[in-house]
Amino acid sequence: MDLPYIFEQMLRGQLGDEYPKFIGALNETPPVSIRYNNRKILNSELGTQNLELKKIPWHTEGVYLPERPSFTLDPAFHGGAYYVQEASSMFIAEALRQTVDLQEDVRAVDFCAAPGGKSTLVASLLSKNSFLIANEVIKSRVEVLKENLIKWGYPSVCATNHDVEDFAALENFFDVVLVDAPCSGEGLFRKDPKAVSEWSPDAVQTCSARQKRILAAAVKTLQPNGILLYSTCTYNDFENKENVEWLIQKFDLECVKLSVQAEWGIVEKPFGYQFYPHRVRGEGFFLSVFRKKNKGIPSLIMPKLNFEKLPKKQIEVVARWLQNPNKFDFFLKPNGVVFVILKKHIEYYALIDKVLKRKSTGLEIGEFKGNDFIPSHDLALSIEVAETTPSVNLEKMDALRFLKKETFDFDFEQTPKGWALVRYEGLALGWVKILSNRVNNYLPKDYRIRMAID
């Protein structure tokens, strides 16, 4: 791999005699890793039961695959059974376990969330009544973030599309703040050769300045005693060490030391933890953890919610689609879409509705067409869909045909007419409506498989 000279000199200074091993690792095939969804109703190791998979040391639900398969041709991928995530970045899970009481309900935000790997990781760790905002400032990346959150299926996550400075009114609101900052991408050189050609000292300085701006706004939203996690996929001191030192000098933060096992291969630095591909089975990554000092700042006053409530008669119709309808309040959007919010989150949505305009709101469960209720794809993939919902179980090829919106085989004459969840090995993939002479596929066309499946 032909690396920029200045970058080579920087890494030689960091690694000394280890530099040749680092270069050797960059010329190897990148490892492939996935993280299982611990709340989906299925055998969570679907498709990997017969493989001897090595666990990722710092995250119990992460595993390495022996090679990179075609994830598009795995129905379990479309149903949110797992997320394809780089192993080093899963260390965020271990950092949270060591610094946050995960049995308590907390308010969290991922400020740089797309495409959703770290947001789904955080959501999986937090208690079921915790509240997470997954924010992405770049509009073109929001849809893929939403798609991945829908696949993951948790009703406790709100996707937003704002600059971090738009959160200024949410001062002292969050217990956990994650800033996986846009960076120069040095840790991705092995996976993305384009990152090598785009690297320059000027780009590093630009990223460092951008990171400071994001961090300055993010810290203000953190509660006293709250936890800030700052990460990059890079090695240089400008974006890592110097930004961390700047944070400590400028704000009332203390760096939190983590317990890291020596055999993991992670390099502990004065203010953070560095991953090198020759030491770990993963890509370049840096993480630093802070706790905000307690200055006794009062909590925010929560306003009243202004959403239109769903009429009682319609609630009686739609409640049966949910496993635990009593823990939700039911609302109606101006466009007729029915959505639900966990009762424990009502005051949170009331507040962010005043502050953030571009956001998803609760779990969309469908809409009424006359007297008929049309369930949503979001509901199909949600962990909250009722277990008693009629289902059609398909073998792999027919599941792929459903996902491609092609004709698939099953005995619909022996299946009750009406709405049914299409399942693969117990995992919900979407809706069909079974009529007397045909089956209508309600998979959103934007989510269909476009490649050949034979």
Tell me the CATH number at 146. 3.40.50.150
Q: What is the pLDDT of residues 115-133, one digit of tens each?
A: 999 999 999 999 999 999 9
Model pLDDT, residue 410: 80
Is the confidence at residue 208, as pLDDT, over 60? yes
Q: Is residue 42 part of a domain?
A: no
How many structural domains is the chain composed of?
A: 2
Cα 135 to Cα 399: distance, rounded to the nearest angstrom: 32
Q: Is residue 434 part of a domain?
A: no
Q: What is the pLDDT of residues 161-204, one digit of tens each?
A: 999 999 999 999 999 999 999 999 999 999 988 899 999 999 99
Q: Are residues 170 and 225 in the same domain?
A: yes
Task: Tell me the average pLDDT of the chain.
Answer: 94
The pLDDT of 365-375, averaged and rounded, is 94
Model pLDDT, residue 115: 98
Q: Are residues 131 and 273 in the same domain?
A: yes
* Listed residues 257, 272, 292: the one ending a domain: 292
Q: Are residues 273 and 343 in the same domain?
A: no
Residue-number span of the structural domain to which 355 is assigned: 301-376
Q: CA-based Rg of the chain, rounded to a whole angstrom?
A: 23
Cα 255 to Cα 228: distance, rounded to the nearest angstrom: 9
Model pLDDT, residue 31: 96
| pLDDT above 70: percentage of residues in the chain | 96
Q: Is residue 345 part of a domain?
A: yes
The answer to whether 86 and 283 have CB atoms below 8 angstroms apart is: yes
Cα 142 to Cα 150: distance, rounded to the nearest angstrom: 12
* Listed residues 265, 292, 319: the one ending a domain: 292
Q: Are residues 249 and 165 in the same domain?
A: yes
Model pLDDT, residue 296: 65
Is the confidence at residue 43, as pLDDT, over 60? no
- H-helix or E-strand spanning residue 352: helix 346-355
The answer to whether 190 and 278 have CB atoms below 8 angstroms apart is: no
Q: Are residues 339 and 263 in the same domain?
A: no
Is the confidence at residue 45, as pLDDT, over 50? no
Q: Is residue 441 part of a domain?
A: no
Is the confidence at residue 102, as pLDDT, over 60? yes
Closest-CA residue to 243 (of 271, 275, 203, 282): 271
Beta strands 363-369; 372-375: pairing state: antiparallel
Q: Is residue 37 part of a domain?
A: no
Please give the structure tokens belonging to residue 287: 């993480």
Q: Are residues 240 and 285 in the same domain?
A: yes
Q: Tell how far CA 152 is from the center of its chain.
A: 8
Cα 4 to Cα 193: distance, rounded to the nearest angstrom: 12
| Residue numbers annotated as active site | 233
Q: Is residue 313 part of a domain?
A: yes
* Listed residues 361, 376, 391: the one ending a domain: 376
Counts of helices then strands in the chain (DSSP H, E): 13, 22
The answer to whether 121 and 96 have CB atoms below 8 angstroms apart is: no
Closest-CA residue to 319 (of 337, 338, 306, 347): 338
Q: Are residues 266 and 319 in the same domain?
A: no
Q: Are residues 166 and 274 in the same domain?
A: yes
Letter string b/e over residues 216-246, b meaning 16 or more CB atoms within 10 A of that residue's CB: ebbbbbbbeebbbbbbbbbbbbbbbbebbee
Q: Is residue 21 part of a domain?
A: no
Q: Are residues 99 and 242 in the same domain?
A: yes
Q: Are residues 166 and 99 in the same domain?
A: yes
The answer to whether 253 and 292 have CB atoms below 8 angstroms apart is: yes
Q: Is residue 445 part of a domain?
A: no
Model pLDDT, residue 251: 96
Q: Are residues 283 and 305 in the same domain?
A: no
Q: Are residues 351 and 286 in the same domain?
A: no
